[in-house]
Amino acid sequence: MKVLIRWSLALFTITVLAGCAAPRNSLTAAGATFPYPLYAQWFDVYQTENGAAINYQPLGSGAGVQQVQSRTMDFGASDTPVNDRQLQSMPRKLLQIPAVAGAVVIAYNLPRLKKPLKLDGATLADIYLGKVTKWNDPKITALNPGVALPNLGIVVAHRSDGSGTSFIFTSYLSAVSPQWKEKVGTGKSVSWPVGIGGKGNSGVAGVIKQSPGALGYVELAYAKQNKFPCAAMRNKAGKFVLPDVEATTAAAAGAAAELKKDIRASIVNAPGERAYPIASFTYLLVYEDVGNAKKASEIKDFLKWAITDGQKMAKPLEYAPLPESVVKLDEELIERIH
C-alpha cells in the first residue's frame, strides 16, 4: 500500500509540474534573417516570462511573405514592406508592423586611414555605377579635406544573393541619385554595373577583408562584429553621421509624419540632423483577422510585449529601438487584430 501511495504521489507531482511547464499556446513564424539574433532572444525570453512558445524559421524575407500568403505560419517577418500588388493577392487584410530598425553601413579596407571616411550619397552612387574608381578621385577628396587618400583602385563589393540589405541599400541610392534610379533601380537583387559579388554578409565581408582598397555594404551589427571601419554619411540635413543605434532611431523618428500616412514609408535619407541616412525597419506580418480567437489573443500579447519590453534588448545587439512615435502607430495596428 505504501509503495502504491508513493507511486501515486510521484505521478501526481510529475503531472502537475508538466502542466505548469506546458506553454499556454504555440505559435509558428518564418521570414527575415536580418533581425533573427534579436528575434531568437525575444522568443526565448517571452516563453520564459509568459509561457508561450514561438517557433521561428529564419528562411528569408521572401519566404516570410510566401508563408503568410499560404497561411502555413501564424505570422511572418520581412525586411522589405509588402507592396500593393502582393497585398492584393493576400487572402485577408494584412497588417505590417515595424518591429525594430536597422542600419546598413559602408565598410572599407584602408588601413592607413586614421579618421573615418566621409561620403555622400551622390559619390557613393557614382562608385557603384563605376564612375568613381580611385580613392583619390576629386569627388572623394573634396569630402575629406586634409586627408591623404591613396592612388588606389576601389574594389566594389556587393551581395550576389537577393537580400533585404540590398533592398535598403539600393533604395538609398535611388533616393539620392537620379542616374542610379533610372539605370539600376531598387530591389533585393539588381544588375550591378560593377563590383565583386559575395553571398550574404559574410561573403561581402570576405571581399572587403581580402582586398586592399575594397568598399562594401553590410549590416551594422555585422560591421561591429568584424571591427570594420565605417564611413560617415552626409545626411539630408547636410551633416556627416556615423552609423550607430541612436542615429538609426533618429532616422525612424524623422520619418514619423510619412509613416502616419503609410506605415511602409521609407526611412532612408530621412530628415533630422542626427539621422543616419541608410536605415530601414524590419516588419512583422500578421492578418487583421487571424481566424482563431485564441491565437489572435496570443499574437496580440506577444506584439505588445515586443514593441515595449522587447525593445530593451535591441541596442545590445546593434538594432535600433523604435521611437515612441512609431510605437504608438504600432499599438493602433495591433489593436485591430482579432
Which tens digit of pLDDT belongs to each residue from 16-25?
Answer: 333 444 446 7
Same domain, 173 and 142: yes
End-of-domain residue from the set 219, 234, 261: 261
Q: Would you state the pLDDT for residue 24?
A: 60
- pLDDT confidence of residue 225: 84
- 126 in the same domain as 88: no
Q: Which domain holds residue 57?
A: 28-102+280-334
Q: Cα–Cα distance between 333 and 96 in angstroms, integer?
A: 8
User: Are residue 150 and residue 227 in the same domain, yes or no?
Assistant: yes
- In angstroms, how far is the first alpha carbon of the chain from the final one? 53
Cα angle vertex 234, ends 228, 235, to 5°?
115
Q: Is 213 left (phi over 0), alpha (psi -120 to 50) or beta?
A: left
- Torsion of Cα atoms, 28 then 33 then 38 then 44, to 10°: 30
pLDDT at position 222, please? 83
**Which parts of the chain have pLDDT scores under 50?**
1-23
Query: What's 251's domain CATH number?
Result: 3.40.190.10
Rounded to whole angstroms, the Cα distance separating 44 from 55 reads: 10
Which pTM does this prediction carry?
A: 0.84
Same domain, 224 and 330: no
Q: Is residue 22 part of a domain?
A: no
Secondary structure (3-state) at 31: strand
Predicted local confidence at residue 124, as pLDDT: 98
Single out the residue of 36, 34, 98 nearest to residue 323, CA to CA: 98
Q: How far apart are CA 144 and CA 119, in angstroms?
A: 8
Q: Per the structure block, which three cell numbers stand in for 99?
A: 518591429
Same domain for 98 and 111, yes or no, is: no
What pLDDT does residue 326 have? 94
Residue 98 covered by a domain: yes
Clarify whether residues 72 and 141 are in a common domain: no
